[in-house]
């Protein structure tokens, strides 16, 4: 969404939409699942795990880091990635909040 359009929405709506981008590609979901299972990794770990090139994985890591769902620490010539706990909890709370607003017995359609 362009900057001019996103300014029409509330800050919280924009933040939730941005966090949702972490899950808008199966490669990002796979990276997140890998990090949840292994706690941390370097890009090469993912290259061996996923059917994607190193450059593609790097782009997805860059986007996940931009969103804030992961963080990376430089260890020598490599970057060690892990889930950013603060952002993860923020995303969990925001998604839980919106999903629990649905009323199951809603008879609208």
How confident is the model at residue 53, as a pLDDT?
A: 95
Q: Look at 3-12, 38-47, 60-69, 95-104 and tell me which has the smallest mean pLDDT.
A: 3-12
CB 58 within 8 A of CB 103: no
Pick the CATH number of 10-97 from 3.10.20.600, 1.10.10.10, 3.90.1150.10, 3.30.420.40: 1.10.10.10
Strands (E) across the chain are located at: 70-75, 78-83
The model's pTM is 0.86
Q: Which long-range contacts (CB under 8 A, 24 or more apart) does 38-44 make?
A: 39/82, 39/83, 40/80, 40/81, 40/82, 41/80, 41/81, 41/82, 42/75, 42/78, 42/79, 42/80, 42/81, 43/78, 43/79, 43/81, 44/78
Q: What are the tens digits of pLDDT across the range 74-87?
A: 877 889 999 999 99
């Amino acid at each position: 969404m362009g900057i001019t359009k996103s300014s029409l929405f509330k800050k919280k709506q924009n933040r939730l939409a941005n966090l949702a981008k972490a899950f808008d590609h199966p490669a990002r979901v796979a990276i997140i699942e890998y990090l949840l299972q292994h706690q941390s990794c370097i890009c090469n770990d993912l290259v061996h795990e996923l059917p994607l090139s190193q450059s593609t994985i790097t782009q997805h890591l860059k986007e996940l880091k931009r969103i804030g769902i992961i963080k990376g620490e430089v260890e020598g010539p490599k970057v060690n990635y892990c889930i950013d706990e603060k952002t993860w909890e923020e995303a969990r709370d925001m998604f839980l909040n919106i999903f629990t607003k649905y009323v199951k017995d809603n008879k609208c359609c």
